[in-house]
């Protein structure tokens, strides 16, 4: 497992066609927030309704970074 040393954990967010990175420290959460809490606090940070991220997926990477993205739809 890869560990980040002296680097902030980054949340990469894809929302409404935009991409942005948010340091986990900015949200005031611990190192391993559960998906529900992460999406709730992230929505507040983005100044959007809490339900806007309800169906989004949280990918957790070996580096400790996170990706919050819409669920992939195929077909």
Which two structure tokens, joined as six digits, stand for 22?
Answer: 């948010």
For residue 69, the model assigns a pLDDT of 96
Q: What is the DSSP letter of 9?
A: -
Residue scoring higher pLDDT (2 or 18): 18
Question: CB-based contacts of 26: which residues, under 8 Å, 6+ apart?
Answer: 45
Where do the domains of the chain lie? 10-69
pLDDT digits (tens, 9 = 90+) for 21-71: 999 889 988 878 899 999 999 999 999 998 999 999 999 999 989 999 999
Is the pLDDT reported for residue 4 higher than 50? Answer: no
In terms of DSSP bridges, do strands 57-60 and 66-69 run parallel, antiparallel, or are they unpaired? antiparallel
For residue 62, the model assigns a pLDDT of 93
Which two structure tokens, joined as six digits, stand for 21?
Answer: 């990175």
For residue 1, the model assigns a pLDDT of 42
């Amino acid at each position: 497992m890869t560990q980040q040393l002296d680097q902030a954990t980054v949340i990469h967010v894809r929302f409404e066609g935009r991409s942005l990175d948010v340091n986990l420290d900015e949200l005031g959460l611990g190192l391993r927030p559960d998906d529900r809490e992460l999406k709730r606090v992230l929505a507040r940070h983005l100044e959007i309704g809490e339900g806007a991220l309800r169906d989004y997926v949280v990918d957790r990477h070996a580096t400790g970074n996170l990706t919050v993205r819409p669920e992939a739809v195929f077909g």
